[in-house]
Structure 1
Amino acid sequence: MDNPVEPPLWSAYRELTAKATCVDLTHAFHPGQPHFAAFPDERREKVFDMDRGDGFNVHLYTLVGQWGTHVDPPVHFVAGARTVDEIPVEEMILPLVVLDITDRVAADPDATPTMEDVAAWERRNGKIPAGAFVALRTGWGRRWPDRNAMANKDAAGVSHTPGWSAEVLRYLFEQAGVTAIGHEQTDTDPGSATSAGDFSLELYVLARDRWQIELMANLDQVPETGALIVATWPKPQGGSGFPARVFALCPTG
């Protein structure tokens, strides 16, 4: 056939890649990295090794699902709720909204977002779109992979890290209708809460049949509006969490 018409999705792909840059929002995971204190460290060994004369390399990884940049599905906190394999691929590419509280966190590591932060974002950009992924930018990802800096504990052992706030999460899920959230720190809840065993904000998110990405990287490299996020992960049947590969498609120019 002379001069065949290019398939529409191929044309859309060419146009998208010409007008967008990719930003990796994922930390490479490894043994010894920061993690929830109750979890064991990753163990890794080479069961086949070309340096030993084998014909190929194969690693055996032993790790918890909530390891490094990872997805928390609803079942992580809610018995009988959706598992990793039950989250449809349609939810894995979404409009990306970034709420930035980096300056406030620099002055106060216990800072959380307020409704004024949301209102200011909407004054600049319009309403947060339904179905979006909302990421909380705090600057905390720059501390990776320093375990002490990530935990930021005081002399009494209380962790001082930023987190979400109940008022903002209620607005995002109950009014804006977002699909998922993400953040740079280890937990949804601020460190002052998790140090007391309070994970109520994470429970709120997952109990609404929503999912989240924790320990995101490079959020300082994406705009507060206009980008797309792609979040994907392996598909363990009945899985309660897994390391994720997450990136943003950001407009150029």
Structure 2
Amino acid sequence: MTRARMTPEPATVTEPPLWALHRKLIGMTVRTDLTHAFRPGQPHFPAFPDEKREMPFDMSRGDGFNVHRYTIVGQWGTHVDPPVHFVAGARPLDEIPVDEMILPLVVLDIAGRVAADPDAVPTLDDVAAWEARHGRIPQGSFVALRTGWSRRWPDPAAMANKDEAGLSHYPGWSAEVLRYLFEEAGVTAIGHEQTDTDPGLATSAGDFGLESYVLRRDRWQIELMANLDEVPEAGALIVATWPKPQGGSGFPARVFALHHEG
């Protein structure tokens, strides 16, 4: 007598809580990429060399796979600046914990003023207006400065916006707002659409005092962000990730936001 093989019924199990949370989160949010794709010839800090890209293995030449070799500076495209970028002995990239990479996202929007005046910077009135609408800026949050400048990407001349004297005119942060964010609100990190923390008139004079202030406070930042016009000024989460070079002083980052529609 041949005994029939019985296929066991799958066990009835409760969905793991984090899987259920993920399914719910994906179902109720939009994911917006805040990152520019980098490439040779893109806008960058003028003292840096351009990207060099080679293919030691190329399927079009008959190789079995494609491999690129990228030669870039760490501060390339949408990138992260850790404290060690300006402060000897400070935290490098591999010492920034993953706990700091998923944060509440606050967007300060001065794009309207920048459209009329490219040298515009945020003021404490902008912060007060944001807090009047949404409450105090959350401690431990990521604050992004929306200026509309990323619409100029990837045109290097438009990003630098130099006048006849060679001075750049682009927006940046202000000392009063950064002091409030770090010393009173207690934010973890900042980000912006333009090439630098400091406005163009300052960087044209070799003044990077605001970037130095941020990094000397053991905080980090993301530069050259994209698509901030597609996320709400309050209520979103930001995820900022990058490779983990030991002792690294900067690297291209992949940054995105999770938020509700509208």
Q: What TM-score results when the alignment is normalised by the length of structure 2?
A: 0.96
1:59 to 48, 68, 72: 68
The answer to whether residue 245 in structure 2 is matched with residue 236 in structure 1 is yes
Q: State the 4+ residue runs in structure 1 displaced beyond 2 angstroms.
A: none
Give the corresponding residue for 2:35: 26
1:117 to 117, 126, 135: 126
Distance 1:47 1:233 in 2: 24
2:234 to 207, 212, 225: 225
Give the corresponding residue for 1:139: 148
Instruction: Describe the superposition over 1:136-155 as per-residue Cα deviations: whole angstroms up to 9, x where unpaired.
Output: 00000000000000000000
The answer to whether residue 180 in structure 2 is matched with residue 183 in structure 1 is no
Distance 1:222 1:3 in 2: 40
The answer to whether residue 78 in structure 2 is matched with residue 69 in structure 1 is yes
Give the corresponding residue for 2:110: 101
The aligned amino acid for 1:145 is P
The aligned amino acid for 1:137 is R
Q: CA deviation at 1:2?
A: 3.6
The two structures, once aligned, show a CA RMSD in angstroms of 0.7
Q: CA deviation at 1:251?
A: 1.4
Q: CA deviation at 1:100?
A: 0.1
Distance 2:52 2:94 in 1: 24
- Describe the SS at the equivalent of 1:217: coil
Distance 1:153 1:164 in 2: 19
Give the corresponding residue for 1:162: 171
- Describe the SS at the equivalent of 2:19: helix
Segments of structure 1 that go 5 or more residues without pairing to the other structure are none
Q: CA deviation at 1:171?
A: 0.3
The aligned amino acid for 1:102 is A
- Number of paired residues? 253
Instruction: Describe the superposition over 1:117-148 as per-residue Cα deviations: whole angstroms up to 9, x where unpaired.
Output: 00000000000000000000000000000000
Q: CA deviation at 1:252?
A: 2.8
The aligned amino acid for 1:191 is G
Segments of structure 2 that go 5 or more residues without pairing to the other structure are 1-9
